[in-house]
Amino acid sequence: MAPHLLLVLCILFVLTGLSDTQLVSTVSHVSVKKGGFITIPCLYDLIYRNHVKYWCRGYYWLVCSTVVHTDHQKTSGNTSISDDINQQIFTVTMRRLSSSDSEYYWCFVERKNEADDGVGLQISVSPGTPELYVDQQELTGVVGGSVTVRCYSSKLGGSGRWCRIGGLCVAVGHPGALDGTFVKLVQEQRETTKGYVLMVTMSGLMMENTGWYWCEKGDLQMPVHVTVNQATTTQSTTTITTTQTPTTHQTSLISAESITSQPTVTPSVTTDQNNGGTDEMQQEKNQRLEHTFFYLVKAGNAMLFLLCTIVSVVKFRKNQDQDDTKDA
């Protein structure tokens, strides 16, 4: 009786819970080196923004063991979970992986009065080189720039793709665009020290390109997060300064005279820049004083000339009157 009851419960769970599991998505199979770490992104629908998310271990989703939650016990052993409600992605990071960590896992979202919604994936821990891996899972670029991802595969053959989680994909030999950014894939047939290489280049980056992607080869995927930042003035200035910095040999050729003169010139320029407005006001004030003094001098000379003229006329008329009196 118990098996029949369990079967009925499973059927009801499937009918009520897994009919709309497309609202959660992630990769399906990743390969990781023993002792390494991996971050798994789990994308969910907007309606789950404020729901609790958790990471579950076990092949059967109905009886899997919960490892970490976003509301409590966010870290357990070498596993941690975090939720970005703005990007609608919660991520699970597993560190110091061992062979016993090879298992099926589930990205789950809790739902009230309904079965939890989720999607499963497989993690394979390899004692040697993983079947598919990248140099780093975190890449950063600037608007208008480009980023290049090298995906190393231990096997030759199989189609290669670059996909955005929950979005479209671009395949080898078919360059295209993801969210307005040009994507080109080049698959090198020669084997390198790290395996066969699938090179992915995203050019003409935009802010909208920030998010999770994955590199795919065969039935394996490797998640990669791309962050796109605005190119700031500080970054441009730093680049120019670095380019124009003289080498050690060039520095040794600078004469002692030029080195000595530089401190003398620099403060004066700085003072002019800092006190430019004050100097201009002082100059204008001095010019006004000079003009005032000039007009005062001219007015004084005119008054002196007029005074002398009056005195001369008075004296002349006085002398003339004296002469007339004598003649009379």
Domains parsed from the chain with CATH numbers: 24-126 (2.60.40.10), 132-229 (2.60.40.10)
Q: Are 54 and 110 in contact (CB under 8 A)?
A: yes
Neighbours of 175 (CB within 10 A): 13
d(CA 153, CA 161): 13
pLDDT confidence of residue 326: 63
β-bridge pairing 220-229 and 138-142: parallel
pLDDT confidence of residue 72: 85
132: three-class secondary structure by DSSP: strand
C-alpha closest to that of 152 among 203, 94, 123, 192: 192
Let me know how long the chain is: 328
Q: Using CB atoms within 10 Å of the CB of residue 65, give its burial: 0 to 12 exposed, 13 to 18 middle, 19+ buried.
A: exposed
Neighbours of 36 (CB within 10 A): 14
Q: Are 130 and 31 in contact (CB under 8 A)?
A: yes
Unique residue bearing structure tokens 């298992």: 103
Q: Are 141 and 181 in contact (CB under 8 A)?
A: no
DSSP 174: B
d(CA 306, CA 313): 11
Neighbours of 89 (CB within 10 A): 22
**Gyration radius of the chain over CA positions:** 42
Unique residue bearing structure tokens 């992605």: 89
The pLDDT tens digits along the chain (328 residues) read: 444 444 444 444 444 444 444 699 999 999 999 999 999 999 999 999 999 999 999 999 889 999 999 998 899 999 999 999 999 999 999 999 999 999 999 999 999 988 999 999 999 999 989 999 999 999 999 999 999 999 999 877 767 999 999 999 999 888 899 988 999 998 887 777 777 899 999 999 999 999 999 999 989 999 999 999 998 765 443 333 333 334 433 433 333 333 333 443 333 333 333 444 444 455 455 555 554 554 465 566 667 777 777 877 777 777 766 666 666 4
278: three-class secondary structure by DSSP: helix
